[in-house]
Amino acid sequence: MPVTARKIAVPAFLLLLAGGCAHTGEFDETGGITAIRSACPTVGIAAATGDVTLFDPPASREAAAIDVVADMTNVRGSCSDATNDIVTTVNFEIRARRTNTAAPRDVDFPYFISVVRGGTAVVAKQIGHVVVHFNAGQDRASATGQATSTIARAAATLSPEVRKKLTEKRKAGGQDAAVDPLTRPDVRQAVLRATFEALVGFQLTDDQLKYNATR
């Protein structure tokens, strides 16, 4: 499973839990910038899985053998976090182009949604299918897909101890005023463990993934 195209990068500024007293973009007393941390996962496309190329014959990699090319785009997520489960619905569009337009054709594109924890660990994965229909004479077509992920709220919630370390006020000129709490290994690891992504992409074969990575 490839690592996400949008790597989890824990910001080098203060993280606050949603519902805190600060607002996104405010300056804090130390001169840093505060940001609101949400329990909802970041939504994106996993690296090297946002497009797929089908060949005819399948074993060929010549340009003249390209049969269908498809891209995944318009990825949008909506999150419901009102219960103990955080449910994220991801909607996306598949846009496809084919070479031979003589007859109508349906092309099945398998896709996946995975839950990635801490930027590297895939903790859940499901497979789905989207069928794109081409009419006779049509070289381009599209279809939409939808996938859902579920994360336990407890797993995406920072402990009170870590939260206190992140949100405690620091006075300008104080000994710890310029110390980023995320430089502490225990705090950084706790934030990573509570940080999730919901990633979608084409379910590629090993050969297709290699083609995407080396072309």
pTM over 0.85: no
Question: Is the CB of residue 119 less than 8 Å from the CB of residue 4?
Answer: yes
In a domain, 2, yes or no: no
> Whose CA is closest to 132, among 110, 108, 114?
108
In a domain, 3, yes or no: no
In a domain, 9, yes or no: no
In a domain, 7, yes or no: no
Instruction: Name the band, by pLDDT with cuts 50, 70 and 90, for residue 4.
Output: very low
3-state SS, residue 159: coil
Give residue-wise pLDDT tens across range 27-85.
344 444 445 568 899 999 999 999 999 999 999 999 999 999 999 999 999 999 888 99
Omega before residue 110 within 30° of 0, cis: no
Structural domains of the chain, count: 1
Within 99-192, strands assigned E span 105-117, 121-134, 140-152
Give residue-wise pLDDT tens across range 152-165.
999 999 888 888 87
CA dist 97 and 138 (Å) reads 9
In a domain, 36, yes or no: yes
Residue-number span of the structural domain to which 193 is assigned? 15-214
The overall average pLDDT reported for the chain is 83
Q: Are strands 15-17 and 105-117 parallel, antiparallel or unpaired?
A: unpaired
In a domain, 4, yes or no: no
pLDDT higher for 161 or 146? 146
Residue 185 has pLDDT above 50, yes or no: yes
Sequence-distant (6+) residues with CB within 8 A of 14 are: 28, 32, 33, 34, 35, 166, 167, 181
In a domain, 10, yes or no: no
Question: What local confidence, expressed as pLDDT, does residue 130 receive?
Answer: 98
> Whose CA is closest to 29, among 174, 130, 140, 152?
174
